[in-house]
Every structure is written in structure tokens, then in C-alpha cells.
Chain A
Amino acid sequence: MVVDVEAVKRARLGDKESFGEVYQQIADDLYRVALYSLGNSHDAQDVVSETFIEAYKGIKNLRDESSFKAWIMRILSIRCKRRIGQYITGRNELDIDDFLDLSDHRTGVEEKSTEKLALLNALETLTPQERQIVALAVVQGYTVRETAEILGAPQGTVSSKLHRTLKKLRAQLEQ
């Protein structure tokens, strides 16, 4: 989703409506990245709302409106990392229900696309940090460079970690 730079400018000057507008433009992306990284909707909602508050408070410090999306994604990334840091070692579980649309009550989880479940099971073998990279590079389509900037990590590291992680995922899915 493209962010309206003019709205960002107005938000920087304190226009709450405009801030709400730009947030709405990126909210789905934020939630998706948080959900993949943390594995459950409850924590994902927490970090997204924390990110909203922090971005609202800090937007006046944003000097380049066109980088709003990367900037807020970086805030989210930091929040996710803090939350991941509180997880117990080795906790990789995903709350599958949070990833599947269960509003259609005629079908149960068991009847959902086996491919979707296979993907979720494969994601569960990744650490939260690995899922975070996947969420940014694969789900959101950020380049390696952009992903590295958001994560605050060197490009080379992100590149090799992404390569290994995707290889792992593919191996799981192609079994």
C-alpha cells in the first residue's frame, strides 16, 4: 500500500486525522509482519498498538516524509524484537487459528487448504527472528537492503540469513 506523503506532512504538524489516515494505509502491513514474527494475534495486536502510539508521539521528528513507511516499520521491528526477547527459548509455536479465516463455519480447520497448513507448519520450524525476516522480505516484498535497514542489521547478514531460511522453508514444503 502506498502512503500518502502529503498526509504524512500534515501528520507531522500535529494533524491527528492525517495521522490516522496514514496509519490506516499501512496498518494491514504492520499487523501482518507482527503476526508472522510473533506467531499469535494477541502479541501482534499489542506491538502494533504500541507502534501506533510511539509513531504518533515521534512523527514530529520524522524529517523525510517519504520514508514514513520504513520508519514506522522499523519501530515495529524494534517492538517485535523486544517481545521476542521475552519469549522462552525455543518457543516457535504459531497460533494457527490466528492465521486462518474461520468465519466460514461450514468448514473446520481440518478442511482448510492443506497447502496453507503445510506452510504454517513449516513456519513453525523457524525461530521468531527468522520469521521476521521472511515477513519483511517475502510477505511484504522488501528488498534485502530495505529489510536490513528496517532490522538495523548489515545487508550481508540479512542476505545470508534469508537465503538459509528460505532454503529451510522450501525443503519443508517440498517434502
Chain B
Amino acid sequence: MDSEKRQELEESLAFLRSRFDELNQDIKRPHSLDAEVLRKKLEELEESTPSVHPPLRFPRRWKAAAGIAACFVFVAGAFFLAGPQSADNSLLSGGAAETTDAGEVSSSAAVGAPAPEAAMAEEGALMKENPESGELQDAAIPRMAAYSGAPGAAYAESYAQIRDQVYTLGTEPETGLSTSLRLGEDQAVEEAVQDSVDLASAGVSENHKRYETGALIRTDGIYLYSYVMKNTSSTGPFIQISTVNEMKEVASIPLESAIQTFYVYGDQLVTLSLDYHGIPQEVLPMETIAEAAPLEESASQQGNWCGVDGDTGTKATFYDISDPAQPQLVKTFQQDGQYLSSQLEGNTLYVLSRWGVSQDPTASGATLTELVPVTYDSSQETAKLLEAEQIVNNPDASSPLYAVVSVVDLSNPQIQTQAVLGGADGFYLTSENLYLYGNAEGGRTNLIRMELVPGGFSLAASGSVSGQLADGASLKEQDGILRVATTLEVEEGSCENSLYLLDRWLQPVGSLEGILKQGALSATCYLNGAACLSSTTQDGSLLLSVDLSDPTQPKTGETLTLPLFLRQLHPLGEGFALGVGQSVESQGNSGGLELVLLDLSDPAAPSLVSSYSFGEGSYSDVLNAPNRLLVLQEEQLVGLPILTRSSATEKERAYIVFSWDGETGLTQQGLLTQTQLSNTDYSAPEQAAAVDGMLYVFSADWLTKCQIEPWNVLGTAQLF
């Protein structure tokens, strides 16, 4: 920092410290944070025995049952896509490899992976073809896949290797964390790109965060499944099963605790919840790290170990609903790691969680369960440690966090769990691949491709791109090409926005860099072979369509200026997209809700068809939970919960339905207001499901059946 800036900083500090001193006098630490109180809380935690082999609890209306076990394995893995691999994983080595320069794409390609069985049958070193040079080269043989991984992510070879890597990651900054950007070297670039590091180390990018909110209502066309949360009036939490026709309650599934989300597939209902009790001690393997991976006598430990949160788990609970009137608890499945996200595709459920290592792996008596993730199926006798070969080791990880990913085939008891040492923020699923993505040092995004194979999945490729994902919809695979939209703040108010097109080895086949230079990317969508990107400026949004019909030569079209802060883009079909955003009338995030209908059918010339404003102070949960938007493509309808204000103190919540048309734009189709239901805040409509021309709107205490065309509220059913 130059002397002028330094002086400015000193002056600012002096000016502000006196102001803060005055404010600090008012801040009183609550009694709940007194040492005595916290010690008692700690003692209670230590004394409380975890639930013993959690008894299968059956509601009084249920009979004991031995259900069909659907294996559900959560494997939440944080995938941390690898950059250059550090040369030495020994305990005494420190620091991570240097990052690549901003703007570069780096990748490690896997040769087409043979089936796991074939890989295991091979003897000796597996010769793999380098996709760049075509030369054959030796590669490590992870059991799970014939992925070369060099340089880059690769399956671990031993617990010792994992221990060393975890130890390095958890030691103090100067010995363990990334030193990839050395001060004094190109400091301007360092300072510019490192703005993203703060966000990366928070685990989630402000730019790309797609806040996932669980389901409140689902339907299989015959029954409605509604999640009723616990509140002062209800006996919840529980899931109510009611008929579609009359919304008549058929059964109620009481839940142990609040859930993150739930799914219905065939005769099965699965809930996902945070698990604070953890896997029961008595089923955990007790082998110590020292026993499994003895430390070399010469190894010395440097620095202070600083772990991360490792206490939270994720629990899946399976219910047999073949007889909806008598749902039966089948079993539970627990895995280490806080729930991040999940997705059901066909008969396969994918779950991602994040688990941190909080215990120094070199400490005396530390067990393997404190080093690697553990899973526990309640139908089995013991919990299972992930094997080293089930863990992808990323030498460039920046913290001792695992992403654990479970793939569960609900049609048979196949479960596969893998983990990646590093971190992942989410995953994107196609019919053939699972892509994990995560923020990386230097303002980059790591990507890893896992190929979906019968019975599971397998590491196939890893790479990284410059910038962070604009939002959760920034990834799209089409015709074998992965499209990735990223944004990177290079200096205050100026961003480098890019679009990368990567092949199956995550190598670039085309790219566009430096697009929409004003503002960070705030929304993306892909439709009709084109990408549509939007950035937010101080005055509104800019929208750019990119023709990707030839991925090697992406072509930009005209830029469309929009008079709103666009936050999301939702493809509607036929070249149209719905934009959700906020009015430019107020600064920042307090502007009223606005919707726009965009015609993106011609990538060269995107156009605004119509807009709809809900007024000052209006809002929708969709702004933070995009999955709350209901899109009925065939019917050309969209629905969403809204909050509108007639004054600073008067507000109303409602569920609104629009029809859309390329000529006439957005037209309000129907409206269900909270006051039509009751006077309580509970009755705010939140989410809806559609069946055969009927809309079922969920409020915390009501279900409302509405005929969509013509709009008519047909009836209500109270949930509690």
C-alpha cells in the first residue's frame, strides 16, 4: 500500500475509533454467554447420551414394519477441483501450490475411464493416455476409477496421505493455508483477485449463492404431501398426506425434528434433516489414526492446529408409503456433514453435505472417525468409515473440509458414498454427469466431473476457471460441452465477466472474457443453444445473449438495457425467459419486486416483451429461493408467493399466478391472498403444486385448492 493510502487509512481509523468507542459502551454481552452458563451447557452436552441405535419410532396409527430398505447414502462431498498438485504431501511440507494467473483455465483430464471392475482387474501401473500429448504415462490406480488425476485431484491412496493433507490444511496460516499469492509479487493483481478470497473462504460466493429452500408441498398426482413446521399452535413438525381431490387428510407422519426437505418417489418418502446428535458412539469404529497410519518418528508438528466445525451430520429417514393411510418408518441413514443440497432425478437421489475436521489428526488418541467421514445405516450393526479410495484428495484444498456426496438408487439398495477433501458449494446434475463446483483461492472456481456409472459414480475430470459462478444456474451441459459463466471483481465497481465452454476433460474449447464490463454477473440462463447473461449496474441491468451454436466461436449479440436490478432468469420455453428482480427506484436490495418477460429467441437481438411491478416495498421469497417459483411450461403459467405494501405498515401476502404470451406479455391469471385464509401470519401462501389444472397452495396452516382457468378458489383444508 502506498504512503498516501496508508495515511488515509490511519486517518480513517482515528476518525472511526472514537465513534465506535461510544457505540461499544452500549453493547452488553448477554448473560447467556457467561462462562458459567456456557460451561453448564457444555457439561450437558457431554453428559447427554446420543440416542441408542435410534429406535424406529412409529406413530400410534402405524404398525411395526420391516420396510424395504432403500439405500440412501449421503455423500456430500465437497469437491475441490484441483489445480496444480503440490509435489510433496508429507507432514513436514507446507503451503499449497501457486494458483494460476487470473484468466487461465486449468484442467486435469481423465482418460476415458474403464469400468471400475476392469480397473481393479488390471495389474501393475495403469498406462493412461495424456489427452494433450497422446503419450502414455503411468498413473496411480485409485480403486474407484481409472482416473489419472495428475496433476490434480485423485483418489487417496492411504489414510496416511489424508492425515498429512488434513494436518497441513488445519495449521496456522503461515504454515498451512495457501500462500499462493506472495506479497510483493504483482501486488495490484493480488489485491484485485483476492477480494474474492474472502468470499471463497466463507464457503459461498455472494455472487453465485442460490439459496436452497426445501419443499413444503409435493404431489404424486394422487396425494398431496405437506410439511407442517412446529409452531406454538401446531403439534408439528409433521408431514400430512391428503387426497388431491378433496384435500382430505389420510395420514400424518410425525417428525423428530425440523427437516431440510423431503422427496416422494413411488412408494417411498424420504426426509432430509440436520442431525445434531450424531452417529451413536457404540456403532463407531474405534481404530485410531495412529494405528491405521503410524506417524514417522522424525515428523515434527509445527504451528497451531485450528479445525473447523465437524459436529453436524445429515440424516435421511425413509418411509414406506405404499399404503398412504399407514406410512411406515423403514430406517434412517446418517452421514457426517452439514446438509448442503440434494436433488432427485428419476429414481436416484443425490445428496451433498459438508463436514469439517475439528480434531488435530496428529493428536494422541485421535480416531479415524475424526479424520474421515462416517456413514451409518440403521439397518446395519456398525457405522462405516469411508475408505481412502473413496476419498478424492485435492492437494490444493484450502481447509480441512470434506464434501460428501451420496448417490442412492431408490429402486434397489445400492448406495455409493464418496468424499472430496477440500470444499464444494453445490452440484449440477445431468443425465450422465455430476459436476461439483466450489470457490477456490485466487477468485477461481474449481470444477470436478463425476461420471455417473451403473451403481454409482466415478471421478472423471477436474479443472478450474477464473471467477466465481454468477448464480446457481451458471452451469449448463449441452452436447458434451459444459458452459460456465463466471464473474470476478478486478477493482471496485469493475468486474471481469466470462463465459467458458469446456469439453468433457474440462478443457476449454471456447471462451468469451471481459463481457458486460459494468457490474458483476447477477443472472444467467441457457436456452435454445444460447447463453443469456445479465450484469447489474448502479442504474439497472444489462442483458447479453451469446450464440453458442458453435462452441468454439461464441458470438455475442446486442446488449439490452433493463430498468430493474435483475436477480434471476428462468427459462420458460419457446425462447422466452422470466426475469425476477427489484426496482431501480430504491438503492440496493430494498427496491420493490419486478418481473419481466424476455424474448431471447434471437440471440442477436434479445428484447423486453413486458414487465410487471408490484410496487414499493414489495417482495417475494423467490428472490432468495428460486425454487419457490412455479413454472408450468405447457400451460404457459408461472406462480409465486408475494408480499405487497399499501403503506409503510400495511402489507399483504398472497400467491399470484400469471399467464405469459409472446405477444401480450405477462397477464395476471389469479390471486390468493392471505386474508382470504385467516388473519394470522401463519397463513401466508408460500408454495404451490399443480395437478390437472388445479393449483394447491400451501400456507403453514392451510391448503387451498384453486382452479387455474378460469381462476376460482374452490376450497380450503386446515393443516392444524
Contact = CB atoms under 8 A, between A and B. Distances in A.
B201 interface: yes
Contacts of B206: 89-90, 127, 129
A89 B194 contact: no
B32 A157 contact: no
B23 A99 contact: yes
Contacts of B19: 115, 119, 173
Interface residues of A, number: 79
Contact of B211 (A32, A61, A89): A89
B122 interface: no
Given A20-B36, A154-B197, A163-B8, A101 B28 contact: yes
A157 B197 contact: yes
B22 A75 contact: no
B306 A88 contact: no
Contact of B39 (A16, A149, A169): A16
Interface of B: 1, 5, 8-9, 12-13, 15-17, 19-20, 22-30, 32-36, 38-39, 41-42, 45, 172-174, 177, 181, 183, 187, 190-191, 194-195, 197-199, 201-204, 206, 209, 211, 301, 303-309, 358-360, 363, 492, 588-589, 623-624
B201 A152 contact: yes
Contacts of A88: 209, 211, 623-624
A82 B307 CA distance: 13
A14 interface: no
A74 B23 contact: no
23 contacts: A23-B38, A31-B29, A52-B38, A52-B42, A53-B45, A60-B363, A61-B304, A61-B305, A71-B304, A81-B202, A85-B209, A89-B211, A100-B26, A119-B19, A129-B202, A149-B173, A151-B198, A154-B183, A154-B197, A159-B9, A160-B191, A160-B195, A167-B12
A53 B42 contact: yes
A153 B201 contact: yes
A152 B177 contact: yes
A175 to B, nearest CB: 14
A84 B191 contact: no
A21 interface: yes
Nearest to A149: B173
A62 interface: yes
Interface string A25-47: 00110111001000001000100
B522 to A, nearest CB: 9
A85 B208 CA distance: 11
Contacts of B23: 99, 116, 119-120
Nearest to A91: B589
A119 B13 CA distance: 14
A141 B18 CA distance: 12
Contact of A82 (B28, B203, B623): B203
A57 B303 CA distance: 18
Classify the secondary structure of A's interface with B: helix
Given A89-B209, A89-B211, A154-B197, A58 B307 contact: yes
Contact of B26 (A28, A30, A63, A99): A99
A157 B198 contact: yes
Q: Which 5 A-B pairs have the closest CB atoms?
A: A157-B194, A166-B12, A90-B589, A20-B35, A101-B26
Nearest to B425: A85
Given A67-B304, A127-B206, A169 B32 contact: no
A82 B202 contact: yes
A61 B305 CA distance: 6
B9 A61 contact: no
Given A82-B203, A101-B25, A167-B12, 5 more contacts: A63-B303, A90-B588, A116-B22, A149-B172, A160-B1
A166 B623 CA distance: 30
Contacts of B492: 164
A138 B36 contact: no
A139 B27 CA distance: 12
B363 A61 contact: yes
A139 B39 contact: no
Question: Which of B8, B16, B28, B204 has the most A CB atoms < 10 Å from its CB?
Answer: B16
Contacts of A162: 9
A137 B13 CA distance: 8
A155 B183 contact: yes
A157 B197 CA distance: 9
Contacts of B305: 58, 61-62
B197 A167 contact: no
